[in-house]
Structure 1
Amino acid sequence: MRNKFWVWIFVLYLGTGVVHAQSLNEFVVDGLEKNDLAKNLPPLDTLIKMAKANSPRLKFFDADYEFWDGQITLARRAWLRNINLEAGYGYGIFDNLSNQQIAGDPGSQTLFSSEQSRYTVGASIKLPLSSVFNRNREIKNAKAEAKKSQHQKEYAEWELEQLIVKQYNDLLKAHRLFFINASIVESYKLQSIRAEKDFKNGVINLADYTRLQQMLNQAIRAYESQRAEFLIAFKALEGTVGIQIEMY
């Protein structure tokens, strides 16, 4: 009975004609060419540029580099923390020395008071040895951290490029398989219509007709599974790029 079933499948294909087999193959080939997703997606280089522009990870490294670049400037100017300038202002009644006292006359003890404003300005410098000897080391450390952040960004960019290329090709593969599975389902549907007529006319029995329906159901399940894979691959690429991908 199983051999009879496969013979019937072969006859069914012959019954539809060699032209049908060729047209189905041409349909798949032409359909893949006309529905090539790569023609509707932005170019790969454009996707990579968009991913880099929207990557939170790369933005983190940019901010980290900016921070350490600022630390270099701060380390170079750290010595300014040891210089103090002070200024003061006072207004009121002050006791002042007489001219004799200013001239150095020891016998004069007279003070006189007057209402006036007074300004004071002063400067001081202190140079701790740690600031002197550690300055160059602090500058070098800040430069090393800035350079490390820059290299980390370059490596992250390389990783991002590799991920985009993989997801891009996974999407194209998923789309092609999705289209092929859709074609297989359509082919089985045509066979099912023919088989239903042959079953009613007694050409095939119920077991063969049921088996073909099971094959159709399996093809539909494979189609739905591949459809889900295509959508997942598409959303994964959108997530990495960081924006909604517009089709051309």
Structure 2
Amino acid sequence: MIKKGILVLALIFIAFSSHAQTINDFVNRGLEENDISQRLPQLDTLITIAKHNSPRLKFFDSDYEYWDGQIDLAKKAWLNNINLDAGYNYGIFDNLSNQQIAGDPGSQTLFSTEQSRYVVGASIKLPLSSVFNRGREIKNAKAEADKSKYQKEFAEWELEQLIVRQYNDLIKAHRLFFISNSIVESYKVQSVRADKDFANGVINVTEYTRLQQMLNQSISSFEAQRSEFLIALKSLEGTVGIKIEF
């Protein structure tokens, strides 16, 4: 009797192991056939697209361009202290006589002529502040430009890390989504058999209820995992800035 009991237990164990192995093989084959990473764009491609579409990186580009322009303005600020004036007048003007021009003090005669007059003048002033602060203003502008450049480099690194994480989260969510679906399908098959067994009196209401609860729980888990998959997909699309087709 003992040997017979051991034999029965061994057969049950073998059958259970075979059943579990069959399920594992099914899931593994399904995951291989439905490997989303084979249909997604390459990770490097997604990173490149994300950098091109990133509003944050565009902001740093504009900020760097602004401060790079401020460097040129600071270098040429001394030109603000140079003034060049020109004027033109046309009309009748009183002029000195030739004697007066020659220095004859006895000549008091002025004569009027119709003529054009041009006036050109230049002036320069150099406040001490513009002299001593020029170098500091140029250095400040360069420092701000460098800061924008380094901020962009750091933002690019952060963006790369985020995309790698979201990419892997999407693949993981899809795998769990597929596994959840496989579990639901397995419990649906069991549920059909449970309906027949319960109708034929093979199982009681307690066992039948337990199997139905397991099916409902697997469906609930499947829906939760489907939601996680969609969230992971939309998160990656939002970061990259395109709709991902697969």
TM-score w.r.t. length of structure 2: 0.91
Aligned equivalents of 1:38, 1:98: Cα separation in 2? 99
Residue equivalent to 1:180: 179
Aligned pairs for 1:1-248 (under 5 A) are 21-247=20-246
Measured after TM superposition, the shift of residue 34 of structure 1 is 1.0
Provide the secondary structure at the position in 1 that maps to 2:118: strand
Quote how far apart the aligned CAs of 1:90 are.
Answer: 1.1
User: What is the RMSD of the two structures over their aligned residues, measured on CA atoms?
Assistant: 1.7
Give the % identical residues: 76
Compute the displacement of 1:246 (Å). 2.8
Aligned residues: 234
**SS of residue in 2 equivalent to 1:117:** strand
The offset of 1:89, in angstroms, is 1.0
The one-letter amino acid of 2:222's match is Y
1:19 Cα deviation from its structure 2 partner: 6.5
SS in 2 for 1:204: coil
Worse-matched range after superposition: 44-53 or 102-111: 102-111
Could you tell me how far 1:20 is from its partner in structure 2?
5.7
Query: 2:61 is aligned with what amino acid?
Result: D
SS in structure 1 of the partner of residue 113 of structure 2: strand
Gaps in structure 2 of 5+ consecutive residues = 1-11
TM-score, scaled relative to structure 1: 0.90
Comparing 90-99 and 132-141, the one that deviates more: 90-99
Give the distance between the partners of 2:245 and 2:194, measured in 1 at CA. Answer: 43
| Secondary structure of the corresponding residue to residue 94 of structure 1 | strand
Name the CA distance, whole Å, in 2 between partners of 1:88 and 1:34.
85
1:226-248 Cα deviation digits (max 9, x unpaired): 0000000000001111111233x
Question: Following TM superposition, by how much is the alpha carbon of 1:44 offset from its aligned partner in structure 2, in angstroms?
Answer: 0.7
Q: CA shift at 1:98, angstroms? A: 1.6
Please give the alpha-carbon distance, in whole angstroms, between the structure 2 residues aligned to 1:246 and 1:129: 64
Q: Distance in 2 between matches of 1:69 and 1:246?
A: 40
Amino acid at match of 1:65: Y
Distance across 2 between alignment mates of 1:133 and 1:199: 97
Task: Write out per-residue CA displacement over residues 100-140 of structure 1, whole angstroms, 9 at most, x where no aligned residue.
Answer: 22121111122122222211100001111111111111111
Find the aligned partners of 1:55 and 1:93 in 2 and give their Cα distance: 68
SS of residue in 1 equivalent to 2:120: strand
Q: Shift of the alpha carbon at 1:26?
A: 2.0
Question: Aligned equivalents of 1:100 and 1:159: distance in 2?
Answer: 86
Give the secondary structure class of the aligned counterpart of 2:144: helix
